[in-house]
Amino acid sequence: MGVILAKMGERAETVANFFSQFNDIMMEMTMMIMALAPIGVFCLISRTFANIGFSAFIPLAKYMIGVLLALAIQCFGVYQILLKIFTGLNPIKFIKKFFPVMAFAFSTATSNATIPMSIDTLSKKVGVSKKISSFTIPLGATINMDGTSIMQGVAVVFAAQAFGIHLSPMDYVTVIGTATLASVGTAGVPSVGLVTLTMVFNSVGLPVEAIGLIMGIDRILDMTRTAVNITGDAVCTTIVAHQNGALDKKVFNESN
Ligand code: ASP
């Protein structure tokens, strides 16, 4: 339908506007709920700690460390190996050049806001043609969210353990599928990964209330996974540019 709408242009403007405005409404609704979230989270967490006691902190700390570790492996391991194999570029140099964008994503927790800076840095410091990055970076910021799906995978294990629910190998396969789909459907703005996490929990019958437990500590994880999300987009963009002869290695090798 999207392809047809784009093809029809002005003739289908009303329908296109409907979807676009509906998207805006959903974003506004999410933002309003997120503004109320701290109060809800406070109530949920107070109840949990009143019932379980201070020992509830230990599983939460383990969850946090698990997510951060997996994100670090993805960002500094998987991506950098792919970059080296497919483009031959030096991963350490790449990280140094791209670091300001990662820091920006970390502090804002939004992939969407990072788009202009990412395109600019890739063009000026890495040597990726804007012809490629102006398509792949906005696309990646919307649908390619490895960091988000990693968090969702770990959150499922955490919730299953917290509620004493046994997950079968088939459930884990379902989680891989739904977490990937949920991250594709996640908008590149703060905390939306938590909203789409409900879909992942529902797919394997986990109680959605479990999200309340992790909401309180999600901000720092959101910041970190956003940095991972946008690094994945940048690495893929560099690989695509290299394969299409749109990567200027001279720019990359300059010490800017
Ligand atoms: N904040 C993330 C991003 O913008 C999305 C999320 O996982 O909540 O990439």
For ligand 1, atom 7, which residue shows the shortest CA distance?
Answer: 193
Find the 254 Cα to ligand 1 centroid distance in Å: 32
Please tell me the predicted confidence (pLDDT) of residue 42. Answer: 78
- Half-sphere exposure for 113 (CA within 13 Å, toward CB): 14
pLDDT cut 90: percent of the chain above it: 65
- Amino acid letter, residue 24: D
Per residue in 112-133, pLDDT tens?
989 999 999 999 999 999 999 9
- Ligand 1 atom closest to the Cα of residue 188 is 4
At 46-80, the pLDDT tens digits run 776 777 677 777 888 899 999 999 999 999 999 99
Pocket of ligand 1 (CB under 6 A): 109-111, 145, 148, 186, 188-193, 222, 225-226, 229
Instruction: Please state, in angstroms and rounded to a whole number, the distance separating the CA atoms of residues 17 and 19.
Output: 5
Q: Which of 154, 192, 211, 214 to mutate to test the pocket of ligand 1 (most atoms within 8 A of CB)?
A: 192
Residue 92 has pLDDT above 70, yes or no: yes
Asked if residues 198 and 156 have their Cβ atoms less than 8 Å apart, the reply is: no
Mutate to test the pocket of ligand 1, among 106, 145, 150, 230 (most ligand atoms within 8 A of CB): 145
Predicted confidence at residue 256, as pLDDT, reads 62
Q: Which residues pair with 128 in a beta bridge?
A: 247
Q: Give pTM, 2 decimals.
A: 0.82
pLDDT score for 15: 94
Ligand 1 atom, smallest distance to 114 CA: 4
CA of 190 relative to ligand 1 center, distance in Å: 5
Q: Which residue, among 55, 33, 32, 72, has the nearest Cα to 211 in the 3D structure? A: 33
Residue 147, pLDDT above cutoff 90: yes
Mean pLDDT value across residues 202-209: 90
Say which DSSP state 109 is in: -
Pocket test for ligand 1, best of 117, 229, 233 (most atoms within 8 A of CB): 229
* Mean pLDDT, residues 186-192 taken together: 87
Query: Measured between alpha carbons, how far is 157 from 175 in angstroms, rounded to an integer?
Result: 10
79: three-class secondary structure by DSSP? helix
CA 142 – CA 125 distance, rounded (Å): 23
Predicted confidence at residue 216, as pLDDT, reads 78
How many angstroms separate the CA atoms of 175 and 185, rounded? 15
Query: Under a CB-based contact definition with an 8 Å cutoff, are residues 105 and 226 in contact?
Result: yes
Residue 46, exposed/middle/buried by CB under 10 A (0-12, 13-18, 19+)? exposed
128: helix, coil or strand?
Answer: strand
Alpha-carbon gap, residue 156 to 224, rounded angstroms: 18
- Report the range of poorest mean pLDDT among 12-26, 32-46, 127-141, 199-213: 32-46
pLDDT surpassing 70 at residue 135: yes
pLDDT at 20: 86
Q: What is the per-residue pLDDT for 52?
A: 67
DSSP class per residue in 189-215:
STTHHHHHHHHHHHHTT--TTHHHHHH
| Backbone phi and psi for residue 86, each to the nearest 5 degrees, phi listed first | -90, -20
Atom of ligand 1 nearest to the CA of 141: 9
Q: Which residues pair with 247 in a beta bridge?
A: 128
